[in-house]
Chains A and B, each alone.
Chain A
Amino acid sequence: MSGTTQPVGSTAAGTTVKERAELALNDEFLRKAVKFTTERLRGGKLKASEEHGNWDDWRERGRQIRLHTIAHLDYYLNLFADNARANGVHVHFAHTAAEAVKLSLAIAERNDAKSVVKSKSMVTEELHLNHALESIGVEAVETDLGEYIIQLAGETPSHIIIPAIHKNRYQIAALLSAEAGETLAPDTTVLAGFVRKKLREKFLEADIGMTGCNFAIAETGSMVLFENEGNARMVTTVPKTQITLMGMERIIPSWSDLEVMATLLPRSATGQKLTVYMSGITGPRRAADADGPEEMHIIIVDNGRSNQLGDPEFQELLNCIRCGACLNACPVYRHIGGHAYGGTYSGPIGAVLTPALQKNVAEWDDIANASSLCGACYEACPVKIPLHDMLVYLRRRKVEAGHGSKLESLGMKGFATVMGSAGRFGGVLKLGKLGQKLVVRGGVIRTKLGPLKGWNTYRVAPSLPKQSFRDTWATLEEEIRVGLRETAPDVKQRLEAVIRERKQKEGGSLHG
């Protein structure tokens, strides 16, 4: 597969994670491109966080700010909306994606808009807003370089902050050459130069500038954007009307909280101390301002987020600051890229967020199974969201709702029966030793029959030894007893001291 002609991201419905992952695993271009960039980002993040120092303390501080905000989200949302309105912003609340789209289209129609320039926004991806705008004859142009490439390819972003991470520069050159009507060299400067020229025209003729929002500051009703290309500055200063779409959880209480978030976000996302541009926008253009929109709207989108409020297992999902660090750290994402996840959001956060936002945690396909639960996502997360635990909760909810696989359910019943008693476990080991005689060759099992197919396609399976540990114990214990009747007195003293220490700590935190 060439990777240039197969828009992996264009379809998700009706396919399984395994099918989508298979496409990616067979796409050498994609795997190389994803590995190359995630490695660079992951390394950059590690370096930047080490240089900054006390990283775990900063993470904890960020986590506390997010926990506090989400616990009082109603209060801070109202405060934000009141302050933004006082600044002259039209604030709208959208319960569903459909409502958010309707609000956006109404603003476009009222302003008789012909074209919209957009800076990067995952929320608008979630709403499929570009298609909606096109359906009423409004041209929507993505102005973030990566998003622009994805838009030309007719795909969806495969990474939260690097939308075109799955494409290499030759594939990008081919896409942009088609747009330019001439052959462009696969050279970053040439390609970016073409896009810059092209987009400059679009900025000047656009009626509406549309943005997402990294943080919304409740105390002043301001919105903050982090970016590296300057396109969000153009989007928020050139067109007469600005529409900002934000998830309802983007709020933080104050500018001093932003200091912590501005420390965590760029370092976690790209390994930068700060992005090239960080814009704080408080209301539309005032009389003394040189530029800025005359009319400004902020649409606050729920679209499933309130499902997490009050859910002890998933509320922390709302703490996410969309840095993408979990994707860069994830060994599964590394091999299958973002489109295999089948939703707007990919990687570990997407595997949890997609079913959670859709409320149908019981019926989603098996995205939550596409994880080895290694915990790299949790370790990378700047606000310490326990994604590896949430993946297990999703699996459990699916099983509890009766949507688990029949075969697996049967297998697990067998597991409970065998492992519920040492006698039965011992019995099964004896049977296994007899049964394996049919398949063991040279001490290992290579057959690809039944459940061994997946395992033995890539490995050999070990055979059971003549004696299990429990079989050897009696002999082993006798051997040990000869030299050591009981635990040595000096060791015993040491152990007793540890027990005393443990008892003192009891009721406090658990070790480990």
Chain B
Amino acid sequence: MKVSLFITCLNDAVYPRVGEAMVRLLARHGVRLDFPKVQTCCGQPAFNSGYWDEARAAAATILEAFDDSDFVIAPSGSCAYMIHHYSQLFRHDPGLLAKAEELQRKTYEFTQFFVQVLGVTDLGAFFPHRVTYHPSCHGSRLLGVKEEPMALLNGVKGLELVPLPFAEDCCGFGGTFAVKMADISGAMVMEKTDHVKETAAEVLVGLDMACLMNIAGNLRHRNEPVRVMHLAELLYEGVTGVMKR
């Protein structure tokens, strides 16, 4: 049985603490994660910008990394959904196409794996804070991950969940969009953090560090003290009582 971690390039490079929390949480629930080191990036930045040859170069490392895995788990709905585009990317290569379709069947976003596969919603976490949740677009709209994070958050003792106004609106990240259309993206993230402020939450939690990097970056820019966390970090902190920033 091989259950593998698809760390995603952003979490690998910038937010290793998210991967660490995931690995430790899953270990507590009896799952030994494996980390194939040939993986790099899912290829989404190139794919979405229209550079499909370049996207294939990155995607090939993912196909190779998880070729013999039974389950693949990613701390990002967006990167997990990118796998669903692989059947388009590799449609002209029957061998790789078959691998792509197989990978799509066995890939799960972190909360999907916990709730759908392990059937666990109560991790025994205690987190006595006012928390609001931002559902990232690709994870919730395209991958359909809506109820899983809610179930996990509802399982946390002491946690006060406050709804985020206009929660489903995009935070304005959009990959290269944030650089190419910086002012439009800026207007979007400003509106998002306005809504976060309205909730008076101490913590903003989500499932995608790219979106959270965007929102956290703007909060910090505006000197807002809201703490921004991936749900895996929140749950791990909740079960161990470890306070880390």
B61 A379 Cβ-Cβ under 8 A: no
Q: Name the contact of B217 in the complex, choosing from A21, A22, A455, A490 (C-beta under 8 A).
A: A455
Chain B positions within 8 Å of A21 at CB level = 181, 183-184
B interface footprint on A493-505 (CB within 8 Å = 1, 0 otherwise)? 0111011001001
Given A369-B181, A370-B181, A484-B27: A335 and B57 within 8 A (CB)? no
Interchain nearest-CB distance for B245 vs A (Å): 10
| Bound Cα distance from A420 to B54, whole angstroms | 9
With most chain A CB atoms within 10 A of its CB, the pick from B54, B173, B174 is: B54
Interchain nearest-CB distance for A47 vs B (Å): 15
| Bound Cα distance from A415 to B9, whole angstroms | 12
List which B180-211 residues lie within 8 A (CB) of chain A.
180-191
A366 part of interface (Cβ distance < 8 Å): yes
B37 A422 Cβ-Cβ under 8 A: yes
B interface size (C-beta, 8 A) = 92
A372 B172 Cβ-Cβ under 8 A: yes
| Bound Cα distance from A372 to B141, whole angstroms | 13
| Bound Cα distance from A25 to B172, whole angstroms | 14
A472 B16 Cβ-Cβ under 8 A: yes
| Bound Cα distance from A3 to B107, whole angstroms | 50
Q: Name the contact of B51 in the complex, choosing from A25, A412, A421, A487 (C-beta under 8 A).
A: A412
Interchain nearest-CB distance for A399 vs B (Å): 4
Name the residue of chain A whose CB is nearest to the CB of B41.
A419
Q: Name the contact of A462 in the complex, choosing from B45, B141, B186, B217 (C-beta under 8 A).
A: B217
A332 B31 Cβ-Cβ under 8 A: no
Given A395-B49, A491-B118: A462 and B14 within 8 A (CB)? yes
Chain B positions within 8 Å of A421 at CB level = 40, 61
Given A21-B181, A397-B50, A496-B1: A484 and B217 within 8 A (CB)? no
Given A425-B40, A464-B14, A477-B35: A396 and B70 within 8 A (CB)? no
B46 A416 Cβ-Cβ under 8 A: yes
A366 B184 Cβ-Cβ under 8 A: no
Interchain nearest-CB distance for B116 vs A (Å): 9
B162 part of interface (Cβ distance < 8 Å): no
Given A422-B39, A455-B217, A459-B218: A480 and B32 within 8 A (CB)? yes
With most chain A CB atoms within 10 A of its CB, the pick from B13, B39, B175 is: B13
Chain A positions within 8 Å of B214 at CB level = 459
A451 B179 Cβ-Cβ under 8 A: yes
Interchain nearest-CB distance for A174 vs B (Å): 27
Q: Name the contact of B12 in the complex, choosing from A17, A375, A399, A468 (C-beta under 8 A).
A: A468
A469 B20 Cβ-Cβ under 8 A: yes
A373 B3 Cβ-Cβ under 8 A: no
Chain B positions within 8 Å of A335 at CB level = 184, 187-188, 191
| Bound Cα distance from A505 to B101, whole angstroms | 12
B95 part of interface (Cβ distance < 8 Å): no
B126 part of interface (Cβ distance < 8 Å): no
A419 B57 Cβ-Cβ under 8 A: yes
Chain B positions within 8 Å of A373 at CB level = 48, 137, 174-175, 177
B238 part of interface (Cβ distance < 8 Å): no
List which A192-235 residues lie within 8 A (CB) of chain B.
none
B220 part of interface (Cβ distance < 8 Å): yes
B19 A494 Cβ-Cβ under 8 A: no
Q: Name the contact of A416 in the complex, choosing from B53, B173, B185 (C-beta under 8 A).
A: B53
Interchain nearest-CB distance for A350 vs B (Å): 15
List which A8-25 residues lie within 8 A (CB) of chain B.
17-18, 21-22, 25
B159 part of interface (Cβ distance < 8 Å): no
A interface footprint on B57-92 (CB within 8 Å = 1, 0 otherwise)? 110110000000011000000001100100000000
A447 part of interface (Cβ distance < 8 Å): no
B172 A468 Cβ-Cβ under 8 A: no
Chain A positions within 8 Å of B7 at CB level = 469-470
List which A383-398 residues lie within 8 A (CB) of chain B.
392, 394-398
A286 part of interface (Cβ distance < 8 Å): no
A186 part of interface (Cβ distance < 8 Å): no
B243 part of interface (Cβ distance < 8 Å): no
Q: Name the contact of A369 in the complex, choosing from B31, B57, B177 (C-beta under 8 A).
A: B177
A interface footprint on B1-42 (CB within 8 Å = 1, 0 otherwise)? 101000101011111110110011001011111010111110
A420 B184 Cβ-Cβ under 8 A: no
Name the residue of chain B whose CB is nearest to the CB of A399.
B50
B185 A372 Cβ-Cβ under 8 A: yes
B183 A502 Cβ-Cβ under 8 A: no
| Bound Cα distance from A106 to B51, whole angstroms | 48
Known pairs A412-B54, A477-B35, A496-B1; list 6 more (Cβ under 8 Å): A373-B174, A379-B141, A415-B41, A416-B54, A457-B186, A467-B16
The 9 closest A-B pairs by CB, nearest first: A372-B174, A454-B182, A459-B217, A488-B30, A395-B50, A374-B170, A458-B186, A419-B58, A416-B54
Pick 26 A–B contacts, CB within 8 A, sort by A. Answer: A372-B137, A372-B170, A373-B177, A375-B138, A375-B141, A376-B141, A397-B50, A398-B50, A412-B54, A415-B51, A416-B57, A422-B61, A429-B13, A444-B217, A444-B220, A459-B217, A462-B14, A462-B216, A467-B16, A468-B16, A469-B16, A477-B35, A480-B27, A491-B30, A502-B106, A512-B144
